[in-house]
Amino acid sequence: MKPKADKIVCWAVAALSLTLLACADTRSREAGGGTAAAVGRSEPAPGPAAAPPQTASPQAPAQVPGDARLLEDERNTIDIVRKTKYSVVYITNMQYVSDFFFTYDELVPRGSGSGFVWDDRGHIVTNFHVIDEGVKYMVSLPDQRQVEATLVGRDPAKDVAVLKLSEAVAGLAPVTIGTSRDLQVGQKVIAIGNPFGFDHTVTQGIVSALGRTMPGAGGFSIRDMIQTDASINPGNSGGPLLNSSGELIGMNTMIASPSGASSGVGFAVPVDAVAKIVPQIIRSGKVTRPDLGGLSFVRDEVAQRSKIVGAVIMEVSRDSRAYGQGLRGLQRDTFGRLLIRDVITGIDQMKIKSYDDLFAALDGYKIGDTVTLTVEREGKARQVKIQLTGSD
């Protein structure tokens, strides 16, 4: 029995081994892609093992050119500064000063300001108060050279003056003349000048307000001034105020500061007024304005103390048209007291509250125009027609 049992066990082990080998072969075929999918298609030969992916090494960030980092507004400002580099100058006002014993006079700098090149003939435009009372003027050019200049003419009423270089200077560039009639509050402006002696200083801001009236250096108010928040400091006076196209829109003139500090709100004479005055000064050395002819007026502060509204006529020339039209000035009564006769309270459709108003109104007319004045005498008003003449 035992031999037979051992033989059965051997056969059973052999059958089990064959079964295990068949299963192992089946699993091997499935892992390798299974049996052949179609007749004639063979398995691809195994290729070389793929190389593991390489990790990229870190690189430094690319360098961006300086101009590419600028904003468009910055590029615009830089272009304007480059464009006007040879258009702005520095002016020194020289005056004589006596020593303590009045034994000799010495020529010393007494004031300074800015100016800009008007044309290619050497004319420099600046403020009247920059050159006032000077006997000699030195102009510092963009290349740091100094050239003496002579006074061509001035207009204190608008705070404008014109100098001319004493020698021909190559390389200067006249400013581009713009207009101030279409300015808008909020638009960008650039002021260039020499504040505190720091030449060619640039400040930027906006038009803060328009139509401002400020007291001028000649005793009259300057109307329609441009108010700006671009920094204007001592030494900026006479320098150009430019728009975003690099065009001249005004001449920096004054600072308004309640505390009396050297900085505050800036004001500029509008270029339309400058462009009307400068050619006259260059042509004849003076400014000729429309005038009523033969009339003089009481100072406004005197009239205001007397609570009089209007332009008070002080004197009328007997050979004037105004005298022929019946206008009369102050007269004295039997006690020697001055009596007011005629007061101008209107011109055409405009109301006149002071001589300053009348002066500003006449600026809008031409020599030869005929105007209708509203004149009051002792509380009664009448109309008087006058043809305007020219006056320096």
Q: What is the pLDDT of residues 288-317, one digit of tens each?
A: 999 999 999 999 999 999 899 999 999 999
Task: Catalytic residue, from 87, 114, 129, 356: name it.
Answer: 129
Task: Catalytic residue, from 155, 159, 300, 357: name it.
Answer: 159
Which residues lie below 8 Å from residue 163, measured CB to CB, with a gap of 6+?
91, 115, 123, 124, 126, 131, 137, 139, 149, 150, 151, 152
Helix ranges, 285-354 (H): 300-305, 321-324
* 18 inside domain: no
Q: Are 101 and 161 in the same domain?
A: yes
Contact criterion met (CB below 8 Å) for 157 and 220:
yes
**pLDDT in the model for residue 103:** 66
Q: Are 187 and 276 in the same domain?
A: yes
Percent share of the chain, pLDDT over 70: 80
Distance separating the N- and C-terminal Cα atoms of the chain:
157
* 241 inside domain: yes
The alpha-carbon radius of gyration of the chain (Å, integer) is 44
* 31 inside domain: no
Task: Catalytic residue, from 87, 221, 237, 354: name it.
Answer: 237
Contact criterion met (CB below 8 Å) for 155 and 66:
no
Residue at 32: amino acid letter: G
CATH number for 271:
2.40.10.10
Q: What mean pLDDT, rounded, does the chain reach?
A: 84
Environment class of residue 47 by beta-carbon count within 10 Å: exposed (0-12), middle (13-18) or buried (19+)?
exposed
**pLDDT in the model for residue 96:** 85
- Whether 47 has a pLDDT exceeding 80, the answer reads no
Percent share of the chain, pLDDT over 90: 63
* 375 inside domain: yes
Read off φ and ψ for residue 119, nearest 5 degrees.
-150, -175
Q: Which domain holds residue 272?
A: 176-285
Q: Are 268 and 304 in the same domain?
A: no
* 17 inside domain: no
In what helix (H) or strand (E) does residue 74 lie, and over which residues does it extend? helix 72-83
Give me the mean pLDDT over the 105-133 stretch: 92
**Is 99 noted as a catalytic residue in this protein?**
no
CATH number for 300:
2.30.42.10
What distance in Å separates the CA atoms of residue 322 and residue 151, rounded to the nearest whole number?
Answer: 35
Contact criterion met (CB below 8 Å) for 373 and 349:
no
Q: In the structure encoding, which two tokens stand for residue 131, read together?
A: 């050159």
Q: Are 120 and 180 in the same domain?
A: no
**Is 159 noted as a catalytic residue in this protein?**
yes
Return the closest-CA partner of residue 161 out of 171, 148, 149, 152. 152
Q: Are 364 and 309 in the same domain?
A: yes
Give me the mean pLDDT over the 90-95 stretch: 93
Q: What is the pTM of this model?
A: 0.77
* 358 inside domain: yes
* 77 inside domain: no
Q: In the structure encoding, which two tokens stand for residue 100, read together?
A: 């303590």
Give me the mean pLDDT over the 189-201 stretch: 85
- Under DSSP, is residue 275 helix (H, G, I), strand (E, B) or coil? helix
Q: Are 259 and 296 in the same domain?
A: no
Which residues lie below 8 Å from residue 373, measured CB to CB, with a gap of 6+?
292, 344, 346, 347, 383, 384, 385, 386
Q: Are 180 and 281 in the same domain?
A: yes
Bridge-partner residues for 124, per DSSP? 117, 163
Q: Are 99 and 124 in the same domain?
A: yes
DSSP letter for each residue of 96-137: EEE-TTSS-EEEEEEEEEEEEE-STT-EEEE-HHHHTT-SEE
DSSP-derived secondary structure letter, 47:
-
What distance in Å separates the CA atoms of residue 380 and residue 376, rounded to the nearest whole number?
Answer: 5
- Under DSSP, is residue 254 helix (H, G, I), strand (E, B) or coil? strand
Q: Are 210 and 311 in the same domain?
A: no
Last residue of a domain, which of 138, 165, 192? 165
When pLDDT is cut at 50, 70 and 90, the band that residue 278 belongs to is very high
Q: In the structure encoding, which two tokens stand for residue 349, read together?
A: 């459709």
> Tokens 């004031």 map to which residue?
111
Q: Are 268 and 227 in the same domain?
A: yes
What distance in Å separates the CA atoms of residue 289 and residue 125, rounded to the nearest whole number?
Answer: 20
- Number of domains the chain contains: 3
Q: Are 257 and 281 in the same domain?
A: yes
When pLDDT is cut at 50, 70 and 90, the band that residue 61 belongs to is low
* 232 inside domain: yes
- Whether 128 has a pLDDT exceeding 50, the answer reads yes
When pLDDT is cut at 50, 70 and 90, the band that residue 263 belongs to is low
Q: Are 326 and 347 in the same domain?
A: yes
Last residue of a domain, which of 242, 265, 285? 285
- Whether 160 has a pLDDT exceeding 90, the answer reads yes
Residue at 191: amino acid letter: A
- Whether 42 has a pLDDT exceeding 50, the answer reads no
**Is 363 noted as a catalytic residue in this protein?**
no
Task: Using alpha carbons, list the distances in angstroms from residue 338 to 304, 314, 315, 343.
Answer: 16, 10, 12, 14
Last residue of a domain, which of 165, 190, 205? 165
